[in-house]
């Protein structure tokens, strides 16, 4: 499973996003593999649509991509704290790493620091 970072999903949903074309291209290239995102990542992606009352369209876009919601493991709070300390990444990025670890998947992101850390952990696409 390819675990998607919020930046990729936001770019895909928002046609005016600077990374929209790159997100579309990468997602099409990987369309033969299942996509997932942590519950926290999906919440992050849905904040702007909730604010602008376009939540149904955003959910439809996620559904069209067949993005599965990846639940974090029972020990997520402790594991996320350790990831945050070990990596220096923001907590939402740690959620991406933990989700990828939980499903033995890989990470798709435009964030260089998250991509490097995913690579160090063998979670790069």
pLDDT tens, residue by residue, 15-41: 999 999 999 999 999 999 999 999 999
pLDDT per residue as tens digits for the range 67-89: 999 999 999 999 999 999 999 99
Question: pTM (2 decimals)?
Answer: 0.92
Work out the number of other CB atoms within 10 angstroms of the CB of residue 5: 28
Q: Which fold has domain 2-118?
A: Rossmann fold (3.40.50)
- pLDDT > 70: percent of the chain: 99
Q: Output the CA–CA distances (angstroms, integers) from residue 81 to 56, 94, 109, in the order listed.
A: 33, 9, 21
Beta bridge partners of 3: 36, 107
């Amino acid at each position: 499973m390819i675990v998607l970072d919020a930046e990729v999903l936001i770019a895909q949903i928002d046609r005016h996003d600077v990374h929209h074309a790159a997100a579309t291209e990468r997602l099409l290239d990987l369309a033969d593999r299942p996509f997932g995102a942590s519950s926290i990542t999906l919440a992050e992606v849905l904040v702007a649509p909730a604010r602008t009352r376009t939540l149904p369209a955003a959910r439809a876009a996620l559904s069209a991509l067949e993005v599965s919601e990846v639940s974090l493991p029972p020990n997520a709070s402790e594991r996320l704290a350790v990831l945050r300390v070990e990596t220096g990444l923001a907590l939402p990025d740690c959620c991406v790493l933990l989700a990828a670890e939980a499903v033995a998947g890989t990470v798709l992101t435009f964030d260089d620091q998250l991509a490097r850390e995913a690579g160090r952990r063998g979670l790069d696409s």
